[in-house]
Structure 1
Amino acid sequence: MFFGTYTPKLDEKGRLFLPAKFRDQLTEGLVVTRGQERCLTVWSMEDFGRLTERLREAPVTNKGTRDYVRMLFAAASHEVPDKQGRISIPPALREYASLNKDVVVIGSMNRIEIWDPASWTAYSEEQEQKFSELSDEVFPGI
């Protein structure tokens, strides 16, 4: 499980030091791809495999399924952390998420998200207003 907020930096080659607390779960490799709200999503190989299996079950005759699969897989990059815990973020993904040197990395249960700091700040400030209301939607009756 991934949780917490970290602020590592991209190096001049577009490599990111994964937070130390996340590295053990990703030593066998990971997939980084587009996420929603213009962030990047990092999946362990195991969880990306589960996601892939669920998408295989979705009807390819559904245009939404086709669109989602195309966007997700076209941008996907398989990475293996080096001995220092770094992964490369491909240029197209850095551009998609507006990543420069400073980034915000958040744990989001079974995945990691990588954000541009200004985008994360704007998003989290907007969501903070809704957080207590969302609990009723996510956990009705509790």
Structure 2
Amino acid sequence: MFLGTYEPKLDEKGRIILPAKFRDELAHGLVMTRGQERCVYVFANAEFEDMHDKIRQAPVTSKQARDYLRVFLSGATAETPDKQHRVTIPPALRAYAGLDRDLAVIGAGSRVEIWDATAWQTYLAEQEAAFAETAEEVIPGLF
């Protein structure tokens, strides 16, 4: 499970060093793709395969499912970390998420999310108030 927030820097070649706590789970390969809220999702290979299996069960007759699948998979790229635990974020994904030098890499349970540091701080500030004020059951069975 991926947990925590880390602040690596993007180097001049578009690479980041994976946070130490994420390395074992991502060492044998990962898949990066467009995430919602303009971040980059990073999945361990096995998790991505499981997710793809679920997505492809959606009916091909559903336009919404087709649209989601196209956007999600067309931006996907498989990577394997190098010996220094670095991965390259492709230019198209860097542009999609507005990634510059300063990043926020967060653990989101089954995936990692890579955010522009400023965009993450803005998102977090907006969401923390709503999080604190949640008065109803948002996630069934949690509260």
TM-score range relative to shorter protein: over 0.9
Q: How large is the Cα RMSD of the aligned pairs? A: 1.3
Uncovered stretches (5+) of structure 2, i.e. residues with no partner: none
Q: Which residue of 1 aligns with 2:75?
A: 75
TM-score by length of 1: 0.96
Distance 1:124 1:134, change over 3 A: farther
Q: CA deviation at 1:83?
A: 0.6
Q: Which residue of 1 aligns with 2:139?
A: 138
Q: CA deviation at 1:136?
A: 2.5
Q: Which residue of 2 aligns with 1:31?
A: 31
Q: Which residue of 1 aligns with 2:106?
A: 106
Q: Which residue of 2 aligns with 1:124?
A: 124
Aligned length: 142
Distance 1:135 1:108, change over 3 A: farther
Seq. identity, %: 52
Q: Which residue of 1 aligns with 2:56?
A: 56
TM-score by length of 2: 0.95
Q: How does 1:75-94 map to 2 (within 5 A)?
A: 75-94=75-94
Partner SS for 1:36: coil
Uncovered stretches (5+) of structure 1, i.e. residues with no partner: none
Higher helix proportion: 1
